[in-house]
Structure 1
């Protein structure tokens, strides 16, 4: 049994990427794993100010917000799922802020299996690669991270469009395969 932390970067509850998070979790739990979804829209996470307070204070950030709790969960889990809508061919602001704020203790987020979920109105999977490269850049900085799968929720413009697309079944199956 693995413990999975799913980070939903969508600013919209029930948005397309958030919906795929739920389907991934459904599959993972059906396979006997435990899973927790963290919805960034519900969290208070300030931007990294590059003050390096954390480097002089044992990985403690000077900001008093929700990131310390999230970072602890990322350190303790076995699997990390990062999900974001594609905004201008990159991750959204909520996801990028989270990624930057892992800095104080990123070396402790080690040995993780990584899965990525992206959703976009664009129907071209190759056009999603810039977004995936953002996730990969983050994972490259984490010791012994291993990419295990990607779900491309392309062709989803309006909220709810994802429900009729193949990505729903793919998310469930990928969750079951963890």
Structure 2
């Protein structure tokens, strides 16, 4: 059965390592007959959540008028959400964190999603990604009915494109095919 897949690429570099892994996941998912849309977060205008809680008084409508409304709409429509980020100081990058924080407006309305996580780091150890993975998992645990389906660890990837010869490329492709 074909699924609607939303890929949130948090990479600050187009063609960066985590973005390249997203593309491999997408290639596999499309080959398996799924509908996929990738949002390169850096290209969107997304302001920080101000904690004003206007959304709580306005049925999930955020006071900030930017590209986040469209992203939230796509999150609602998706069966699968892929979240990707490079590891910065053992955590997710600012682009991804901003998206997560801005889901505050509708996080109780986003339900029953399958989640895949893609991470890259210059460090060679998966342990360096533990906090990043916990950030993703923390978000998903707030989504009713969420299921973690897979994790890609792109270790030892610093320079843009250095992930191309890493086993994570094939892992991402195969994970996408298996959606």
TM-score, normalisation: structure 2: 0.99
Deviation by residue 1:92-126 (Cα, 9 ceiling, x = unmatched): 00000000000111112110000000000001012
Aligned counterpart, 1:50: 51
Task: Name structure 1 gaps, 5 residues minimum.
Answer: none
Aligned to 2:92: 91
Distance (Å, rounded) in 2 between the aligned partners of 1:169 and 1:25? 12
TM alignment of 1:1-178, pairs within 5 A: 1-178=2-179
- Residue 171 of structure 1 deviates from its aligned partner by 0.3
Distance across 2 between alignment mates of 1:124 and 1:80: 25
In structure 2, runs of 5+ residues without a counterpart are none
Deviations 1:57-97 (A, max 9, x none): 11000001000000000011100000000000000000000
Following superposition, which runs of at least 4 residues in structure 1 exceed 2 angstroms of deviation?
none
Aligned residues: 178
The alignment's C-alpha RMSD in Å is: 0.5
Distance in 2 between residues matched to 1:4 and 1:108, nearest whole Å: 18
Taking structure 1 as the reference length, the TM-score comes to 0.99
- What SS does the corresponding residue of 1:63 show, helix, strand or coil? coil
Separation in structure 2 between the aligned mates of residue 108 and residue 14 of structure 1, nearest angstrom: 32
